[in-house]
Amino acid sequence: MNYPKTRLRRLRYNKNIRKLIEDVIIDKSDLIQPVFLVDGKNIKNEIKSLSGQYQLSIDNALDFCKNLINQGISSIILFGVSSKKDDTGKISCSSESIVPKAIKEIKKTFGDKLLIMADVCNCSYTSHGHCGTIVDNDVDNDLTLETLSAQALTLAEAGADVLAPSDMMDGRVQSIRNKLDSSGFEKIPVFPYSVKYASAFYGPFRDAVGSGPKKGDRKSYQMSFKNSKEYFREIEQDLTEGADAIIIKPALAYLDIINKVSNNYNIPIIAYNVSGEYSMIKSSAEKGHINEIDIIMETMCSMKRAGANAIITYFAFEIAKNLNSKNVQE
Protein backbone atom coordinates (compact mmCIF):
# COMPACT_ATOMS: atom_id res chain seq x y z
CA MET A 1 0.00 0.00 0.00
CA ASN A 2 1.40 3.36 -1.03
CA TYR A 3 0.43 6.73 0.35
CA PRO A 4 -1.03 9.02 -1.01
CA LYS A 5 -3.03 6.79 -3.40
CA THR A 6 -3.96 4.52 -0.52
CA ARG A 7 -5.69 6.48 2.23
CA LEU A 8 -7.22 4.26 4.90
CA ARG A 9 -9.12 7.17 6.37
CA ARG A 10 -11.42 7.27 3.33
CA LEU A 11 -13.47 4.53 4.95
CA ARG A 12 -13.80 6.53 8.19
CA TYR A 13 -14.94 10.00 7.11
CA ASN A 14 -18.59 9.09 6.51
CA LYS A 15 -20.59 7.55 9.40
CA ASN A 16 -22.70 5.50 6.98
CA ILE A 17 -19.60 4.02 5.37
CA ARG A 18 -18.22 3.23 8.82
CA LYS A 19 -21.44 1.45 9.70
CA LEU A 20 -21.52 -0.37 6.36
CA ILE A 21 -18.15 -2.06 6.84
CA GLU A 22 -18.32 -2.84 10.56
CA ASP A 23 -17.87 -6.58 11.06
CA VAL A 24 -18.59 -6.87 14.79
CA ILE A 25 -22.21 -6.21 15.73
CA ILE A 26 -23.91 -6.49 19.13
CA ASP A 27 -27.44 -7.79 18.73
CA LYS A 28 -30.00 -8.23 21.48
CA SER A 29 -30.17 -11.93 20.64
CA ASP A 30 -26.49 -12.19 21.68
CA LEU A 31 -27.25 -11.23 25.28
CA ILE A 32 -28.18 -13.36 28.29
CA GLN A 33 -29.41 -11.59 31.44
CA PRO A 34 -28.65 -13.17 34.85
CA VAL A 35 -31.54 -13.24 37.33
CA PHE A 36 -31.08 -13.83 41.09
CA LEU A 37 -34.02 -15.55 42.79
CA VAL A 38 -35.12 -15.64 46.44
CA ASP A 39 -38.08 -17.17 48.24
CA GLY A 40 -40.89 -14.91 49.41
CA LYS A 41 -43.17 -12.30 47.87
CA ASN A 42 -42.65 -8.72 46.75
CA ILE A 43 -38.89 -8.90 47.43
CA LYS A 44 -36.49 -6.69 45.51
CA ASN A 45 -33.19 -6.42 47.39
CA GLU A 46 -30.51 -4.39 45.65
CA ILE A 47 -27.12 -6.09 45.73
CA LYS A 48 -24.75 -3.46 47.14
CA SER A 49 -21.67 -4.64 45.26
CA LEU A 50 -23.69 -5.09 42.05
CA SER A 51 -25.31 -1.69 41.67
CA GLY A 52 -28.55 -1.91 39.71
CA GLN A 53 -28.92 -5.68 40.19
CA TYR A 54 -31.41 -7.27 42.57
CA GLN A 55 -32.37 -10.41 44.40
CA LEU A 56 -35.96 -10.98 43.26
CA SER A 57 -38.85 -13.03 44.54
CA ILE A 58 -40.69 -14.92 41.81
CA ASP A 59 -43.44 -12.30 41.42
CA ASN A 60 -40.89 -9.53 40.87
CA ALA A 61 -38.79 -11.80 38.65
CA LEU A 62 -41.84 -12.20 36.41
CA ASP A 63 -42.13 -8.41 36.13
CA PHE A 64 -38.43 -8.18 35.27
CA CYS A 65 -38.78 -10.90 32.64
CA LYS A 66 -41.67 -8.99 31.08
CA ASN A 67 -39.49 -5.88 30.87
CA LEU A 68 -36.67 -7.90 29.32
CA ILE A 69 -39.00 -9.30 26.67
CA ASN A 70 -40.37 -5.82 25.93
CA GLN A 71 -36.81 -4.61 25.31
CA GLY A 72 -36.05 -7.57 23.04
CA ILE A 73 -33.98 -9.75 25.39
CA SER A 74 -34.87 -13.40 24.80
CA SER A 75 -32.45 -15.30 27.08
CA ILE A 76 -31.93 -15.42 30.84
CA ILE A 77 -29.81 -17.48 33.22
CA LEU A 78 -31.18 -18.22 36.68
CA PHE A 79 -29.31 -18.36 39.99
CA GLY A 80 -30.87 -19.37 43.28
CA VAL A 81 -30.25 -17.55 46.56
CA SER A 82 -31.16 -20.09 49.21
CA SER A 83 -31.75 -19.33 52.88
CA LYS A 84 -31.78 -23.07 53.52
CA LYS A 85 -28.44 -24.86 53.23
CA ASP A 86 -26.93 -28.23 54.06
CA ASP A 87 -23.53 -29.92 53.89
CA THR A 88 -24.04 -31.44 50.43
CA GLY A 89 -26.31 -28.99 48.61
CA LYS A 90 -28.93 -31.70 48.10
CA ILE A 91 -31.61 -29.19 48.99
CA SER A 92 -31.14 -27.88 45.44
CA CYS A 93 -32.47 -31.20 44.11
CA SER A 94 -35.96 -30.57 45.46
CA SER A 95 -38.69 -29.38 43.10
CA GLU A 96 -39.63 -26.95 45.88
CA SER A 97 -36.29 -25.15 45.82
CA ILE A 98 -36.37 -21.62 44.43
CA VAL A 99 -35.06 -22.12 40.88
CA PRO A 100 -37.37 -24.99 39.81
CA LYS A 101 -40.35 -23.07 41.19
CA ALA A 102 -39.30 -19.96 39.27
CA ILE A 103 -38.77 -21.89 36.03
CA LYS A 104 -42.30 -23.27 36.19
CA GLU A 105 -43.81 -19.81 36.71
CA ILE A 106 -41.70 -18.16 34.01
CA LYS A 107 -42.59 -20.90 31.52
CA LYS A 108 -46.26 -20.73 32.43
CA THR A 109 -46.29 -16.95 31.99
CA PHE A 110 -44.08 -16.44 28.94
CA GLY A 111 -43.82 -19.80 27.18
CA ASP A 112 -41.09 -19.81 24.54
CA LYS A 113 -40.63 -16.03 24.57
CA LEU A 114 -37.69 -16.57 26.91
CA LEU A 115 -34.90 -19.12 26.72
CA ILE A 116 -34.25 -20.24 30.28
CA MET A 117 -30.72 -21.31 31.16
CA ALA A 118 -30.31 -22.72 34.65
CA ASP A 119 -26.99 -22.67 36.46
CA VAL A 120 -26.14 -26.06 37.95
CA CYS A 121 -23.96 -25.84 41.06
CA ASN A 122 -24.11 -26.50 44.79
CA CYS A 123 -22.34 -23.44 46.21
CA SER A 124 -25.53 -21.45 46.93
CA TYR A 125 -26.96 -24.42 48.79
CA THR A 126 -24.04 -25.69 50.88
CA SER A 127 -23.44 -24.54 54.44
CA HIS A 128 -19.69 -24.25 53.76
CA GLY A 129 -19.99 -22.35 50.46
CA HIS A 130 -18.06 -24.81 48.32
CA CYS A 131 -19.36 -26.26 45.06
CA GLY A 132 -19.64 -29.82 46.31
CA THR A 133 -19.52 -32.30 49.18
CA ILE A 134 -16.57 -31.89 51.55
CA VAL A 135 -14.63 -35.02 52.55
CA ASP A 136 -11.32 -34.75 54.40
CA ASN A 137 -11.22 -30.97 53.94
CA ASP A 138 -11.58 -31.16 50.15
CA VAL A 139 -14.44 -31.27 47.66
CA ASP A 140 -15.12 -34.92 46.81
CA ASN A 141 -15.46 -34.97 43.03
CA ASP A 142 -17.53 -38.13 42.54
CA LEU A 143 -19.93 -37.59 45.44
CA THR A 144 -20.56 -34.11 44.08
CA LEU A 145 -21.45 -35.53 40.66
CA GLU A 146 -24.39 -37.35 42.23
CA THR A 147 -25.86 -34.12 43.59
CA LEU A 148 -25.20 -32.17 40.42
CA SER A 149 -26.90 -34.78 38.25
CA ALA A 150 -29.94 -34.89 40.53
CA GLN A 151 -30.12 -31.09 40.56
CA ALA A 152 -29.87 -30.99 36.76
CA LEU A 153 -32.72 -33.46 36.40
CA THR A 154 -34.91 -31.40 38.74
CA LEU A 155 -34.25 -28.28 36.67
CA ALA A 156 -35.02 -30.12 33.43
CA GLU A 157 -38.27 -31.48 34.87
CA ALA A 158 -39.24 -27.93 35.85
CA GLY A 159 -38.82 -26.78 32.24
CA ALA A 160 -35.29 -25.39 31.87
CA ASP A 161 -34.26 -25.06 28.23
CA VAL A 162 -30.49 -25.27 28.87
CA LEU A 163 -28.42 -26.55 31.78
CA ALA A 164 -25.16 -24.78 32.61
CA PRO A 165 -22.99 -26.64 35.15
CA SER A 166 -20.51 -24.21 36.71
CA ASP A 167 -18.94 -26.44 39.38
CA MET A 168 -15.74 -27.53 37.52
CA MET A 169 -15.90 -31.14 38.73
CA ASP A 170 -14.28 -33.73 36.48
CA GLY A 171 -16.88 -35.82 34.64
CA ARG A 172 -19.86 -33.57 35.37
CA VAL A 173 -20.99 -33.25 31.73
CA GLN A 174 -21.06 -37.02 31.27
CA SER A 175 -22.83 -37.54 34.57
CA ILE A 176 -25.49 -34.93 33.80
CA ARG A 177 -25.87 -36.08 30.19
CA ASN A 178 -26.42 -39.69 31.28
CA LYS A 179 -28.98 -38.64 33.89
CA LEU A 180 -30.90 -36.51 31.39
CA ASP A 181 -30.83 -39.09 28.60
CA SER A 182 -31.96 -41.92 30.84
CA SER A 183 -34.86 -39.76 32.07
CA GLY A 184 -36.24 -38.74 28.67
CA PHE A 185 -34.49 -35.35 28.38
CA GLU A 186 -32.07 -36.15 25.57
CA LYS A 187 -33.10 -32.94 23.76
CA ILE A 188 -31.98 -30.64 26.61
CA PRO A 189 -28.53 -29.16 25.80
CA VAL A 190 -25.72 -28.85 28.33
CA PHE A 191 -23.57 -25.70 28.24
CA PRO A 192 -20.83 -26.29 30.83
CA TYR A 193 -18.51 -23.63 32.17
CA SER A 194 -15.66 -25.51 30.51
CA VAL A 195 -13.12 -22.76 31.07
CA LYS A 196 -13.60 -21.23 34.51
CA TYR A 197 -10.71 -19.62 36.31
CA ALA A 198 -10.17 -19.15 40.04
CA SER A 199 -10.63 -15.41 39.77
CA ALA A 200 -10.84 -12.36 41.99
CA PHE A 201 -13.49 -10.99 39.61
CA TYR A 202 -16.25 -13.09 41.24
CA GLY A 203 -16.54 -11.14 44.50
CA PRO A 204 -19.82 -9.28 43.87
CA PHE A 205 -21.51 -12.45 42.58
CA ARG A 206 -20.66 -14.29 45.77
CA ASP A 207 -22.23 -11.42 47.71
CA ALA A 208 -25.35 -11.77 45.54
CA VAL A 209 -25.90 -15.47 46.20
CA GLY A 210 -24.14 -15.88 49.54
CA SER A 211 -21.75 -18.45 48.13
CA GLY A 212 -18.33 -17.42 49.35
CA PRO A 213 -16.40 -20.36 50.87
CA LYS A 214 -16.42 -20.27 54.66
CA LYS A 215 -12.97 -21.85 54.67
CA GLY A 216 -10.30 -22.16 52.02
CA ASP A 217 -10.78 -21.33 48.34
CA ARG A 218 -11.76 -23.00 45.07
CA LYS A 219 -8.32 -23.40 43.57
CA SER A 220 -8.47 -27.20 43.81
CA TYR A 221 -11.21 -27.28 41.18
CA GLN A 222 -11.22 -23.95 39.31
CA MET A 223 -8.35 -23.27 36.88
CA SER A 224 -5.27 -21.18 37.62
CA PHE A 225 -5.14 -17.94 35.65
CA LYS A 226 -1.40 -18.48 35.34
CA ASN A 227 -1.96 -21.42 32.98
CA SER A 228 -2.21 -20.54 29.28
CA LYS A 229 -2.91 -23.98 27.80
CA GLU A 230 -4.86 -25.92 30.41
CA TYR A 231 -8.15 -24.90 28.80
CA PHE A 232 -7.46 -27.32 25.90
CA ARG A 233 -7.80 -30.35 28.16
CA GLU A 234 -10.90 -29.01 29.92
CA ILE A 235 -12.68 -28.34 26.63
CA GLU A 236 -11.61 -31.65 25.08
CA GLN A 237 -12.98 -33.52 28.08
CA ASP A 238 -16.31 -31.69 28.05
CA LEU A 239 -16.76 -32.15 24.30
CA THR A 240 -16.01 -35.86 24.62
CA GLU A 241 -18.64 -36.11 27.37
CA GLY A 242 -21.32 -34.38 25.28
CA ALA A 243 -21.12 -30.61 25.79
CA ASP A 244 -23.27 -28.70 23.27
CA ALA A 245 -21.64 -25.28 23.79
CA ILE A 246 -19.12 -23.91 26.27
CA ILE A 247 -18.98 -20.98 28.66
CA ILE A 248 -15.75 -19.09 29.38
CA LYS A 249 -15.55 -17.20 32.67
CA PRO A 250 -14.38 -14.48 33.31
CA ALA A 251 -14.32 -12.73 29.93
CA LEU A 252 -12.61 -9.36 29.91
CA ALA A 253 -9.24 -10.44 31.30
CA TYR A 254 -9.41 -13.65 29.25
CA LEU A 255 -10.05 -12.38 25.72
CA ASP A 256 -6.90 -14.21 24.63
CA ILE A 257 -8.45 -17.49 25.78
CA ILE A 258 -11.75 -16.77 24.03
CA ASN A 259 -9.85 -16.04 20.83
CA LYS A 260 -7.73 -19.20 21.05
CA VAL A 261 -10.80 -21.34 21.66
CA SER A 262 -12.62 -19.69 18.75
CA ASN A 263 -9.69 -20.38 16.44
CA ASN A 264 -9.32 -24.01 17.49
CA TYR A 265 -12.84 -25.32 18.08
CA ASN A 266 -16.01 -25.35 16.02
CA ILE A 267 -18.39 -24.97 18.95
CA PRO A 268 -20.56 -22.09 20.21
CA ILE A 269 -18.77 -19.96 22.80
CA ILE A 270 -20.55 -17.98 25.51
CA ALA A 271 -18.47 -15.38 27.34
CA TYR A 272 -19.49 -14.55 30.91
CA ASN A 273 -19.02 -10.83 31.58
CA VAL A 274 -18.72 -11.42 35.31
CA SER A 275 -19.73 -9.40 38.33
CA GLY A 276 -16.35 -7.81 39.01
CA GLU A 277 -16.12 -6.60 35.41
CA TYR A 278 -19.62 -5.15 35.71
CA SER A 279 -18.92 -3.48 39.03
CA MET A 280 -15.72 -1.80 37.83
CA ILE A 281 -17.63 -0.08 35.04
CA LYS A 282 -20.60 0.78 37.27
CA SER A 283 -18.41 2.23 40.00
CA SER A 284 -16.40 4.36 37.58
CA ALA A 285 -19.56 5.58 35.85
CA GLU A 286 -21.23 6.51 39.13
CA LYS A 287 -18.19 8.66 39.96
CA GLY A 288 -18.39 10.35 36.58
CA HIS A 289 -15.05 9.02 35.41
CA ILE A 290 -16.31 7.35 32.21
CA ASN A 291 -19.19 7.37 29.74
CA GLU A 292 -20.97 4.23 30.90
CA ILE A 293 -22.83 3.08 27.80
CA ASP A 294 -19.86 3.77 25.51
CA ILE A 295 -17.60 1.66 27.74
CA ILE A 296 -20.24 -1.09 27.93
CA MET A 297 -20.60 -1.31 24.16
CA GLU A 298 -16.84 -1.26 23.60
CA THR A 299 -16.44 -4.05 26.15
CA MET A 300 -19.17 -6.17 24.56
CA CYS A 301 -17.63 -5.70 21.12
CA SER A 302 -14.24 -6.82 22.46
CA MET A 303 -15.79 -10.13 23.54
CA LYS A 304 -17.57 -10.65 20.23
CA ARG A 305 -14.42 -9.66 18.33
CA ALA A 306 -12.42 -12.21 20.32
CA GLY A 307 -14.81 -14.93 19.16
CA ALA A 308 -17.76 -15.15 21.55
CA ASN A 309 -21.10 -16.05 19.98
CA ALA A 310 -23.10 -14.82 22.96
CA ILE A 311 -22.49 -12.99 26.23
CA ILE A 312 -23.90 -13.47 29.71
CA THR A 313 -23.93 -9.94 31.10
CA TYR A 314 -25.61 -7.94 33.85
CA PHE A 315 -25.71 -5.11 31.29
CA ALA A 316 -28.10 -6.97 28.95
CA PHE A 317 -31.17 -4.91 29.85
CA GLU A 318 -29.26 -1.61 29.60
CA ILE A 319 -27.72 -2.57 26.27
CA ALA A 320 -31.12 -3.49 24.84
CA LYS A 321 -32.58 -0.15 25.94
CA ASN A 322 -29.67 1.66 24.31
CA LEU A 323 -30.01 -0.27 21.05
CA ASN A 324 -33.75 0.38 20.98
CA SER A 325 -33.19 4.08 21.61
CA LYS A 326 -30.72 4.27 18.72
CA ASN A 327 -33.18 2.53 16.40
CA VAL A 328 -35.89 5.07 17.29
CA GLN A 329 -33.49 7.97 16.65
CA GLU A 330 -32.48 6.58 13.28
Contact 89, 125 (CB under 8 A): yes
Question: Per the residue annotation, which of 179, 249, 282, 304 is the catalytic one?
Answer: 249
CA 255 to mean position of chain CA atoms: 16
Give the number of residues written for the chain: 330
Distance from C-alpha of 29 to C-alpha of 19, rounded to nearest angstrom: 19
CA separation for the pair 118, 157 (Å, rounded): 12
Q: Which of 137, 127, 199 is nearest to 168 (CA)?
A: 199
Of these residues, 85, 196, 260, 304, which one is catalytic? 196
Check if the beta carbon of residue 252 is closer than 8 Å to that of residue 295: no
249 is catalytic: yes
Q: Among 281, 227, 237, 218, which residue's Cα sits nearest to residue 257?
A: 227
Q: Which amino acid belongs to residue 69?
A: I
Q: Find out whether 279 and 50 touch, Cβ atoms under 8 Å.
A: yes
Measure the CA–CA gap between 248 and 269, rounded to whole angstroms.
Answer: 7
φ, ψ of residue 270 to 5 degrees: the values are: -110, 120
Q: Which residues are catalytic?
A: 196, 249
